[in-house]
Amino acid sequence: DLQRVAEANVPPAHFGYIMTGVDGESTYRHNREGLERLRLRARRLVDVSQLDTSVELFGRRWPTPIVVAPCGSQRAFHPDGELATARAAAALDHLQVLSTVSSTSVEEVNEARGEPVWYQLYLAPVGPGSWEGATALIQRSVDAGCPTLVYTVDLQGGSNRLTGQRWERLDDRDCTSCHRVGGQAHPVKPMLRDLPRGEPDPGLGRSTTWDTLPRLRDVTDQNFVVKGIMTGEDAELCVRYGVDAIWVSNHGGRSEGSGRATIDALPEIVEAAGSRLPIIVDSGFRRGSDIVKALALGATAVAVGRPYLWGL
């Protein structure tokens, strides 16, 4: 229902940005198919009069396992953008995670949320490509009080977002007041605008490896989460590198085509991480029963992206 209202109200290029996956949208479909294929084993005559849906993450208890995933550029969907999201998250006390490419600064979002959000970090190609820029961005989130840094690792090779490109062609508005023409597709975002440029660091970008994790951990005491993990092998590496929580995600089907559903990747990741780390999962979660399935398979919490963007 929200998706239809968004399609009717949001400019075509911006609606395409919400909807797009990659290539022929196979990973986007697989996320839903994976969830729908699983069946529940319903037990009867259990006292369900007192339900506790709360979950604990890093010592903070949340009344719901539903997390507001980091999504960029939210003013493209509503003039209040991330501030409206923050007010909604505050109303029901959801954990909100703010994107590096937000259209509002972390300080303003924290004020609207009423407490510091978790901060999502992109390094090059989407975020800073210099170590100086990266550390300045992290420090700004620390200064704003953000207790947790979520490092997203699933766009390192870029992503082929054909559906988004098609919707852009249907949009005949003049986009030059917000978007640069030619060159970079997006305007410089508030959190990236004032960063020191610094020397481009060859270790940040396409050649980034796991060695970046200790470097990042050295510059902050924040809880450190890695977002975009899809295999047991990488979950083991997360454990070995001392990550504090794993975020299972294929970016809502936006990172690579022919990917598995996150719900299908979850069991091997839970097995590799054991009970050592909290596990957050997202991509395609739309119903309460989807969330039940993830929690039953060992996830600690479930994040959603597009549904709240449609709501905006």
Q: Which helix (H) or strand (E) holds 151?
A: strand 148-152
Closest CA to 57 of 277, 255, 309: 277
Rank residues 37 and 51 by Cβ distance to ligand FNR and give the closer one: 37
Q: Is the CB of residue 279 less than 8 Å from the CB of residue 287? A: no
Which tokens in the block code for residue 146?
């953000």
30 binds ligand FNR (CB under 6 A): no
249 lines the binding site for ligand FNR (CB under 6 A): yes
Give the phi and the psi of residue 236 in degrees, each rounded to 5: -60, -40
CB of 54 to ligand FNR, least distance (A): 21
Contact 117/140 with Cβ under 8 angstroms?
no
Strand (E) or helix (H) holding 271? helix 262-273
Q: How many residues bind ligand FNR (CB under 6 A)?
A: 22
Interface with ligand FNR, residue 302, by CB under 6 A: no
For residues 28 and 131, which CB has a smaller minimum distance to ligand FNR in the complex?
28
Considering only 64-72, 159-167, 187-195, 267-275, which stretch makes contact with ligand FNR by CB under 6 A?
64-72
Among 10, 13, 16, 17, binds ligand FNR (CB under 6 A): 17
Q: What is the dihedral of CA 229, 235, 238, 243, to 10 degrees?
A: 80
Tell me if 300 contacts ligand FNR by CB under 6 A. Answer: no
Q: For the CB of residue 72, give the shortest distance to ligand FNR in the complex, in Å.
A: 3
Q: Is 128 a residue that touches ligand FNR (CB under 6 A)?
A: no
* 82 membership: H or E segment, kind and range: helix 81-91
Stretch that binds ligand FNR, among 65-73, 103-111, 178-186, 235-243 (CB under 6 A): 65-73
DSSP state for residue 52 in the 8-state scheme: -
Q: Is 251 a catalytic residue?
A: yes
Residues marked active site are found at 251
Kindly list the residues in this chain that would bind ligand FNR in the complex (CB under 6 A).
17-18, 69-72, 99, 101, 120, 152, 227, 249, 251-252, 282-285, 304-306, 309
